[in-house]
Amino acid sequence: MAKEIGLIETLALIKAGYTKKEIKAMADTVEELPENTSKGEAEPEAEKTKVEEPEASDPEPDYKQMFEELQTKYDDVNAKLKAAQEANITKDVSGNVPEKASAQSVVDKIFSEVIY
């Protein structure tokens, strides 16, 4: 007699990577559980996953030292920024640089004012 697989088990199998055909084939081949076993023990082997614990050898980072390093970098960058801003404030960026007038250009300018 074929056992019908419930919705929760079907979803768990789909999550584990089984296709619809494989799940149907499992339902046809699965036998009834003996009465003395519980449903929790009847999970397929592929569904059981082993949770790996992180290795204890990984040292925990020193957050205080990292914070202090970042704080000093921030202070250095902030000081450089203020110096650059001060330099930019005093810089002439108007683009109105007066040209040095030659003697010939001065004479030409005078004659053009008189004639016209």
d(CA 112, CA 116): 6
pTM, rounded to two decimals: 0.32
Helices (H), the chain: 7-16, 20-29, 63-90, 103-115
d(CA 18, CA 11): 10
pLDDT at 115 (0 to 100): 83
End-to-end CA distance of the chain: 118
User: Average pLDDT per run of 10 along the chain, which is 116 residues long?
Assistant: 74 88 80 53 54 64 94 97 91 72 86 84
Residue extents of the structural domains in the chain: 7-42, 61-90
pLDDT at 66 (0 to 100): 94
pLDDT at 71 (0 to 100): 97
